[in-house]
Structure 1
Amino acid sequence: MKNWFKNIGPGPLIAAAFIGPGSVTVCTLAGVGFGFELLWAMVLSIIATIVLQEMSARLGIITQKGLSEIIRTELEHPVFKFIAILLILSAIVIGNAAYEAGNITGGVLGLEAISGNPSLKMCGFSINLLSVVIGCIAFILLYIGNYKVLEKALISLVVLMSIAFLITAIITKPNISEILKGALFPKFPKGSLLTIIALIGTTVVPYNLFLHASLVTEKWKAKSDLRFAKRDTIIAVFLGGLVSMCIIISAASIQSETIRNASDLAQGLEPLFGSFAKYFLAIGLFASGITSAITAPLAAAYVASGCLGWSSGMKTKKFRAVWMFILVLGVVFSSLSIKPIDIIKFAQVANGILLPVIAGFLLWIMNKKSVLGAFKNTTKQNIFGFLILGISILLSMATLNKVFSLNLF
């Protein structure tokens, strides 16, 4: 058992990254709108995430390099290299800056359920002090620049979040047979397509592929460590997916059209199950917000370093400058209640396009013997990988359809 805990790696950080306030909101809407019927989409998402993240972790351990760095060095054509780097930098760095405000706001919603809404009037603006508090916590953990400290902090928050959402789901006393039916037998209720794709999109996160490949180099150095990385990935992603399923289950117990986000879910649970249910959900929402508020800037810094050929040391000035930029923007937008609609719209489009592109890049690299040698993909891994690539293309089309109303579906 001691050896097992010793070899816990970046897996929980990856789980922390994909269970953010956006995921909580999407899962809430899925549960309220369709009950248990879309749980199968989460099962599919868990499998897809495990397959892609295992590839990313294997790539990082064997090469001791990040994914963006390998893409930069392996693309020889200058035009293709420029386009790939520009696309990745735009989608990950600018996109994460936009979503960071949502991550911090999610953490704030959790705290507000317990502490109210403390604010400070300044120069005609109302500054939410809780946003500043969460930003400061994230800043301190990132500035320390110690992987082990960051790992322990995020693992603790993930455990807290998991327990909170699991207890909330248990309190609702769900029908186990209905849960199994929803998880194992795919259904496509009317109007559910975009919700299904949103569930997949909030779990199979493009920036996690970059983050995982970089973080494993901090934890493991030898090829013999691959077995630890694989086990770490499977357990962490499974538990992360279980948290998302618990949120769907909790939301399914409330059949109300007034539920639109996780904050409404917290209020909706109170008359049914007492005030303690609201507090469990609040703790989970706070933990999901702050973990994503840490991992999003960290991923952006790793991507920028790899794309631009910088050192990816967590204490270097350029690395810190990137995550500080992302974090400060998130705190400002969140604390002033500014909604960067145009930036978020761009981020949605860029990330929607990016997922199949990065999945394609990953599969291409994972089949290069010159990069991975004997550890390149097997036929079985490629079959799963290309199936997921097809799903990610569907996700890309749905994202474009949603943003631009192209009537593709």
Structure 2
Amino acid sequence: MLFWSVISAAFIGPGSVTACAMAGAQFGLQLLWVLTFATFGTVWLQEAASRITIATGRDLGQTIALANQKRGKTVPYLLFFAVTFGCAAYQAGNILGAVSGLSLLTGWSARWLTIGVGAVCIILLAIGSTQWIANFLGIIVFAMGGAFVYVAFGASPPAIEVAKALVVPSYPAGSLLLINSLIGTTIVPYNLFFGSGITQGQTLSEMRLGVWIAVLLGGFISVVLLIAGLLITGGFTYPNMAAVLSERVGAWGGLLFAFGLFAAGFASSLTAPLAAAITGKSLLGWSERSWTYRLVWIGVLAVGLAFGLSDYNPVKIIVIVQAINGILLPVVTIFLFLAVNDRKLIPDGFRNSLSQNLAMLLVVVVSLIFGGWNVWLAVQSLFN
């Protein structure tokens, strides 16, 4: 469980805090079902990606590249650009989330804080000493999650309503962007490559137990974030969210939220650029010492800094970039589905069962419907 908790920590970032709390503030319990779907979707996809590594000794990217070698590098490059685009979108939200947390703590200029956060990220990524920092900040994020658990119980929504909202889909007017955001911030495409890469040396039962417990823990924190959002008045903003914690648990609650938001953003600001570079290494066979590998993480970090130095509303940007990843999700999922069912590469006993295939297809279909719908509305808006 401790080994796999890195996956749940990876999707409890500024995107989860923002999208979940905003969903609760704007739509009450009506979007809880999205978190149920996304949490189980994460389990199904992550388990399949990790099962490939246990079965073959190759990670997900290497397996997909091998399965599509007759097409040359077309499929690996397609997936690499899709995941890297998603990582760049995440990075914009990560930088903005980290700076928003620091702004709440210090009251300093967001522009100078962005430059400072970016400079520290560049130094740490260049020297490669990021793991212990990410682990420490992950502990802070889980502590913030614990405070939200206390606040969520204080919100006291009827248990029967919560249970119903967790399983009964609803689509309130104006919620499409948030639905895509909740999916995209929970089922993180680059986590499939990352999780597959850290599976080496585990048995199938160990991996499954770890994935289920860790992802359900992350899903639980997402649910309590949404329920805590019920208490926000006057519209969702980070100061309003901090005020809710301060009122419920004392002044230290607001400080914990601010530091937790910074910790979530900063830890993710280190992992998203590396995830893009590691995906390229996995799919395209790069060396970690190559300039191509370095240019990828530098480019992803640069995108985040560009958005951080802009005057855009951080909450809106974070919601939008999570939705972008919800739209990109089917691209990665389709190739994962094909790889885990490949009879030439995956031995008997490790390929998907009928129920596992149906579960993965459900994720593809739902994300395609909502993602495609979002794109269609955006195109209509553009032409109108």
Unaligned runs of 5+ in 1: 120-126
CA contact (8 A) 2:15 2:318 kept: no
Residue 30 of structure 1 corresponds to 23
Question: Following TM superposition, by how much is the alpha carbon of 1:175 offset from its aligned partner in structure 2, in angstroms?
Answer: 4.1
**Which of 376-385 and 45-54 deviates more?**
376-385
1:200-219 paired onto structure 2 within 5 Å: 200-216=183-199
Residue 210 of structure 2 corresponds to 232
- Alpha-carbon deviations, 1:59-81, whole Å to 9, x = none? 233333332332222213437x4
Question: Following TM superposition, by how much is the alpha carbon of 1:52 offset from its aligned partner in structure 2, in angstroms?
Answer: 0.4
Residue 100 of structure 1 corresponds to 91
- 1:381 and 1:267 mapped to 2: Cα distance? 43
Amino acid at match of 1:246: V
Residue 170 of structure 2 corresponds to 187
Task: Check if 1:383 corresponds to 2:358.
Answer: yes
- 1:344 and 1:285 mapped to 2: Cα distance? 13
Residue 64 of structure 1 corresponds to 57
Q: Indicate which of 323, 333, 354 corresponds to 1:359.
A: 333
CA contact (8 A) 1:17 1:296 kept: no
Residue 149 of structure 2 corresponds to 166
Residue 44 of structure 1 corresponds to 37
Question: Percent of counterpart pairs with the same letter?
Answer: 36
Task: Check if 1:307 corresponds to 2:300.
Answer: no
Residue 322 of structure 1 corresponds to 296
Q: In the superposition, relative to structure 1, how do residues 112 and 172 fare at CA in structure 2: closer, same or farther (>3 Å)?
A: farther
Question: Following TM superposition, by how much is the alpha carbon of 1:212 offset from its aligned partner in structure 2, in angstroms?
Answer: 1.6
Question: Following TM superposition, by how much is the alpha carbon of 1:316 offset from its aligned partner in structure 2, in angstroms?
Answer: 6.1
CA contact (8 A) 1:194 1:398 kept: no
Residue 122 of structure 1 corresponds to none
1:334-349 paired onto structure 2 within 5 Å: 334-335=308-309, 337=311
- Runs of 4 or more, structure 1, over 6 Å off, are 343-350
- Alpha-carbon deviations, 1:55-112, whole Å to 9, x = none? 1112233333332332222213437x42x33432333223422431320211222222
Q: Indicate which of 353, 367, 374 corresponds to 1:392.
A: 367
Q: Structure 1-normalised TM-score?
A: 0.80
SS in 2 for 1:369: coil
CA contact (8 A) 2:19 2:319 kept: no
Q: Structure 2-normalised TM-score?
A: 0.84
CA contact (8 A) 2:176 2:370 kept: no
SS in 2 for 1:58: helix
Residue 286 of structure 1 corresponds to 262
Question: Following TM superposition, by how much is the alpha carbon of 1:298 offset from its aligned partner in structure 2, in angstroms?
Answer: 1.9
CA contact (8 A) 1:106 1:285 kept: yes
Q: In the superposition, relative to structure 1, how do residues 65 and 160 fare at CA in structure 2: closer, same or farther (>3 Å)?
A: farther
Residue 305 of structure 2 corresponds to 331
**Which of 245-254 and 45-54 deviates more?**
245-254
Residue 123 of structure 1 corresponds to none
- Alpha-carbon deviations, 1:147-185, whole Å to 9, x = none? 864674464344334324323434545444433332244
Unaligned runs of 5+ in 2: none
Question: Following TM superposition, by how much is the alpha carbon of 1:40 offset from its aligned partner in structure 2, in angstroms?
Answer: 2.0
Q: In the superposition, relative to structure 1, how do residues 71 and 283 fare at CA in structure 2: closer, same or farther (>3 Å)?
A: same
> What is the aligned length?
379
SS in 1 for 2:229: helix
Q: Indicate which of 161, 164, 177 corresponds to 1:178.
A: 161
- 2:313 and 2:248 mapped to 1: Cα distance? 33
Residue 112 of structure 2 corresponds to 128
**Which of 163-172 and 201-210 deviates more?**
163-172
CA contact (8 A) 1:27 1:199 kept: yes
